[in-house]
Amino acid sequence: MTRARIILADDHKEVRDRVATTVARGIRGVGAVERGSALLEAKSKMQPDVCVVDISMLGLCGLDPVI
């Protein structure tokens, strides 16, 4: 089975840490960022299978169409 690459984007460190710990088993890589601008950079470098994005981050959020 191929393991997924996931990026977590949330402006709350506690949320990022908890979600990363929960999903870390069985996946190839987890990236965690706190800002939308960092998400775009990580997305181009990591080429994730899935992005889990907070819908209430400043600047760029999970509801923006560029993600």
Neighbours of 50 (CB within 10 A): 12
DSSP the chain: -PPPEEEEE-S-HHHHHHHHHHH-TT-SEEEEESSHHHHHHHHHHH--SEEEE-TT-SSS-TTSTT-
Q: Which among 4, 5, 6, 7 is positioned nearest to 57, based on CA atoms?
A: 7
Question: Where does 5-53 sit in CATH, by number?
Answer: 3.40.50
pTM of the model as a whole:
0.73
Domain boundaries defined on the chain: 5-53
pLDDT (tens digit per residue) in 20-57: 888 777 677 778 888 888 888 888 998 998 888 888 87
